[in-house]
Amino acid sequence: MPDSNKNQALDNIKERFALDVLDDYIKKALGKKWRDHKSNLKKEYFKKDISLKEKLRNVLPGMLSYQWEDAVRFWNSKK
């Protein structure tokens, strides 16, 4: 998760909650949750046995098509 997104999320959290923890701890926790979320999306919705074209067409509800395309292309790449 980019730092700008973490900072925005941190600001939102501070507006709603009175927390007695360090900002770095919250940012680290947000990063972990984001990685876990992406991992769960891949496990549940990324099917290896279909073509790239089909994968790109199957955009998840609530997800922007360009975000899905970026994720699929990344997961489909040979690292």
Looking at the whole model, is its pTM more than 0.75? no
Burial class (CB in 10 A: 0-12, 13-18, 19+), 55: buried
Q: What is the pLDDT of residue 23?
A: 79
Q: How many contiguous H segments (helices) and E segments (strands) does the chain have?
A: 4, 0
How far apart, in whole angstroms, are the C-alpha atoms of residue 75 and residue 48? Answer: 9
pLDDT in tens, 28-78: 888 899 999 999 999 988 888 899 999 999 898 889 999 999 999 999 987
* Residue 29 contacts residue 8 (beta carbons within 8 Å): no
How far apart, in whole angstroms, are the C-alpha atoms of residue 41 and residue 25? Answer: 24
